[in-house]
Amino acid sequence: MRLTELAEQLKCEWEGDGNLDLIRVAPLESAAAGELTFAEGPKAFAAAAATQACVIAAPAYRRPEHQSVLRAAEPRLAAARAIALLHPRERAAPGVHPTAILSPDSEIDPTAAIGPYCIVGAGSRIGARTEVRARSIIGDNVQLGQDCLLHAGVTIHDDVSIGDRAILHSGVVIGADGFGFVFHQGRFEKFPQIGRVDIGHDVEVGANATIDRAALGVTRIGDGVKLDNMVHVGHNVRIGNHVVVAAQTGISGGAVIEDYVIIGGQVGIADKVRIEKQAVIGAKSGIPSSKIIRAGTTVWGLPARPIKDYLEELATLGKLTARRKELDALLNASRRPTESPAPPDAA
């Protein structure tokens, strides 16, 4: 794609050789002539100036004479959009693979693609241009929107609704039973999980992540939510719009996470927790049952508390360690045997 064409699609100003043919996007440290890269901030400007590649950079970047540049206020965002244009996803041809098994009353849009050994259950509907790759299983009464991509080996249980443009990576399981049991007379008896899962538009779910169906009612995931690999969402959880959850986080049943929350990796969220809008939860934090994290706050630690308190505690612990070492040195000095005075010389 020529530089001028790319600039027009990205709505960026360009400088240099407008006829430059760009073939791929590459990392700044290895980008070569004919490739596109980006410099996100002033720290990257020196490396950007030394490359022969075309660079996406902020207006503050000073372009060397030999170089072509795309000007963008947000270089990383422009680079992401450039990648989508220069490296488009290869789409499978519409149609159903001969090895796929479809229920007679399922509805598959003619523009959808169903791959080898897939199963689609009774009453399920697959939207336009959606691609379901090999060995994925879709249960009964599943609604799958337009332009979705299910990578190989995805499992969607019965009574799940997923909006448009969802991306589900391999190993994702949606709609399995929640972890619900009643203790009676010395044993655990299963609480039947008869609810459903509703997922909005533009949701991406990472590899081996799981979203459980509600015990009663709905487990709900809002628009634009991004769940990383190995995230677990328990039954009856409600996640708002444009929430980001990093890998290995577990969200227990009944928790509510409001819009634009950011959750770090390996966070544990207990049942009935409420996290209000635009809160940030630091990695490896733990949030006890029924706790409320207020809107816009940043918390960290186990148990999670405001980051200012957490950092003050860390500083205090550091001081205590230093004081302990000083005390140990004093105690060791006090335990040393006192040297006896030398005997007087013999007369």
Active centre residues (catalytic): 235
Q: Dmax over Cα atoms in the chain, in whole Å?
A: 121
**Cα distance between residue 245 and residue 249, in whole Å:** 7
| Coil/strand/helix, residue 77 | helix
Which residue pairs, CB below 8 angstroms and at least 24 apart, start in 116-125? Answer: 121/158
Residue at token pair 């706050």: 297
Both tokens assigned to 318: 């550091």
- Nearest CA-CA partner of 250 in 237, 231, 224: 231
DSSP secondary structure code for residue 42 in this structure: G
**Cα distance between residue 81 and residue 9, in whole Å:** 9
Q: Measured in whole angstroms, how far is the alpha carbon of residue 327 from the centre of its chain?
A: 46
Helix (H) / strand (E) element for 57: namely strand 54-57
Taken as a whole, the chain contains a residue count of 347
DSSP secondary structure code for residue 19 in this structure: T
* E strands, 246-326, in order: 250-251, 256-257, 262-263, 268-269, 274-275, 280-281, 286-287, 292-293, 298-300, 305-306
**Cα distance between residue 225 and residue 342, in whole Å:** 81
| Coil/strand/helix, residue 172 | coil
Q: Is the dihedral of CA 146, 88, 211, 202 positive or negative?
A: negative
Q: Give the bridge partners for 262, in sequence order.
A: 244, 280
Cβ within 8 Å of residue 289, ≥6 positions away: 252, 270, 271, 272, 273
**Cα distance between residue 346 and residue 46, in whole Å:** 81
